[in-house]
Amino acid sequence: MIKLICSDIDGTLLPEGTAEINPEIFAVIRKLKEKDIIFAAASGRPYSSIVRLFEPVKNDIIFVSENGAYVSCRGYRMSEEVIDWKDVCEWVEEVRKIPGASLALDADGGLYSESTDQEFVDLVRLGYHSRLTIVEDVLAEERHINKISVYRKNDIEKVAEDMVPRWSKRLHCTIAGDIWLDFMNKESNKGHAIREIQKILKISPDETMVFGDNLNDLEMLAAATESYAVANAAEPVRKAAKHITDTNVNDGVLKVLRTLL
């Protein structure tokens, strides 16, 4: 019997960088709750963005934000991982030198950036509906940071090829879509977050179902016996998943949940 369902958001439940979620998901989540099945929204998005997206059911689900660095339910912090400020400072100085890149620090008060790229700003504020503060120097004030991200519209893979080999010994690094490269505390990933939820709620992997599409979902897929990749998922995710469902735009996740109900 399934007791916990965890789904990625961008590329899995909806198109990347949008708020175009099928409102039927809210009714499905309520029906799952009636059957004592818990739904968790898992994303690289900051907490503020996910809460707005799931506003109608915000008190009925668990939020796994910042790629697992921050997990909460009804305002209760279930788990949290932070990045050492010295690492943040060194990372920022490096990203500032990357042509065409914007940086984002994910803190308690939302996202902080120095970017003058209006397309980036619009994507974060209007697409993801995230709380974004533009400052002249993100290092002027030390903050409690859960995740740091590089945004580049083109060739994020090349940025990853350069940065990941050098940073992977200190931070957990993962490509999160076609335009994002995320860095978290070494312990942070969606799979670790799901296992923390399972531990707290005494739920086994055999009682867990997960859905994903990108490389930052691989650890989460490994935390559940019933793992699904949407049809538009990256090839490594499709290979790692036990099942394949329809694409995100064709409501692949909802189709499985309807059948489960």
Residue-level pLDDT at 234: 93
| pLDDT bracket for residue 224 (50, 70, 90) | very high
Residue-level pLDDT at 174: 87
What are 14-73's pLDDT values in tens digits?
Answer: 988 788 899 999 999 999 999 999 999 999 888 888 999 999 999 999 999 988 989 999
| pLDDT bracket for residue 79 (50, 70, 90) | confident
The Cα 252–Cα 13 span in angstroms is 8
Q: 29, 245, 147: which is closest to 21 by C-alpha?
A: 29
Residue range 159-188: mean pLDDT, rounded = 91
What percent of the chain has a predicted confidence (pLDDT) above 70? 100
What does the mean pLDDT of the chain come to? 94
> Which residue has better confidence, 112 or 75?
112
Token pair listed for 238: 């499709």
Taking each helix axis from N to C end, the angle separating 24-34 and 252-260, rounded to the nearest 10 degrees, works out to 30
Residue-level pLDDT at 20: 81
Cα–Cα separations (whole angstroms), residue 210 to 84, 159, 199, 205? 30, 29, 16, 10
What are 131-161's pLDDT values in tens digits?
Answer: 999 999 999 999 999 999 999 999 999 999 9
